[in-house]
Amino acid sequence: MQITPAILPKDFDEILEKINILEYLVPRVQIDLCDGEFGLLETWLPKGGETLPDDYEYEFDIMVNDWRPYVMKAIDMGASRIVAHVDNFSEADGVELVEMLEHTGTALGVCVSNNVPIENHINFVKFFQERYDNVFIQVMGIRDIGAQGQPFDKSVLERIETLKEECDDVEIQVDGAMNNDTAEKVKDAGATTVISGSYIFGGEDVAGAIEAIESI
């Protein structure tokens, strides 16, 4: 199973420090951007001009109310993937996001939260699929977004199964409360990738934590 380490950075230096800890064990890193309103914690937010090391692919999980400038900043920083939280999106917002991403090659992740009926998210996944070639799904394994260390929300398993039925052939990843035990559960439900922060960076054996999930 594929694992993507997640970084909720208090500042830009923390991103560089944790990337250094990874020692090329994974190809991709997720950087979480939270405004303290949409996403519970307030993280570092790019101001423009920051440069990330060239050795990884970067996925930006954009948990902010004012998402437009941070989508553009993520693209400027070389994002290969972004995750959009569409709970409050209108169709006009969706069209605008597609227009921002087209011609960039950036994959678009549609985040499925726990607080909105899943039918709404399924409709948005299909909406984006009709307008964009590279769409994936991120399902939350925790109840509240934007904070690490929360308990696993078992209802995510049913959401994954429903998405597999309704959105055939779309990649599904799970973010939140992922460790070797919960990763096996979501894989059995149909997910192919997990996003993990505290499980990887919270212990002393980063390589062992990564290997434990990759071997599932």
pTM over 0.75: yes
Choice among 23-27, 82-86, 147-151 with the minimum mean pLDDT? 147-151
Q: Residue 149's pLDDT is what?
A: 72
Domain 2-214 CATH class label = alpha beta
H or E stretch covering 28: strand 28-34
Q: Residue 66's pLDDT is what?
A: 96
Question: Nearest 5°: phi and psi at 107?
Answer: -70, 145
pLDDT for 92 beyond 90:
yes
Mean pLDDT of the chain: 95
Q: Residue 57's pLDDT is what?
A: 98
**C-alpha dihedral (19, 24, 30, 32), degrees to nearest 10:** -10
Q: Residue 40's pLDDT is what?
A: 77
Q: Residue 163's pLDDT is what?
A: 97
Q: Residue 172's pLDDT is what?
A: 98
Q: Residue 146's pLDDT is what?
A: 61
Q: Residue 111's pLDDT is what?
A: 97
Q: Residue 3's pLDDT is what?
A: 98
DSSP state of 165: H
Secondary structure of residue 117 in the 3-state scheme = coil
pLDDT for 25 beyond 90:
yes
How would residue 32 be classed by pLDDT, with cut points 50, 70 and 90?
very high
How would residue 90 be classed by pLDDT, with cut points 50, 70 and 90?
very high
More confident residue, 147 or 189: 189
Amino acid at site 81: R
pLDDT for 147 beyond 80:
no
Q: How far is residue 97's CA from residue 170's CA, in Å, rounded to a whole number? A: 19
pLDDT for 151 beyond 80:
yes
pLDDT for 36 beyond 70:
yes
Give the tens place of pLDDT for each residue, 201-212: 999 999 999 999
- Residue 77 vs residues 20, 27, 108, 153: alpha-carbon distances, Å: 18, 16, 16, 32
Q: How far is residue 108's CA from residue 83's CA, in Å, rounded to a whole number? A: 6
Q: How far is residue 202's CA from residue 145's CA, in Å, rounded to a whole number? A: 19
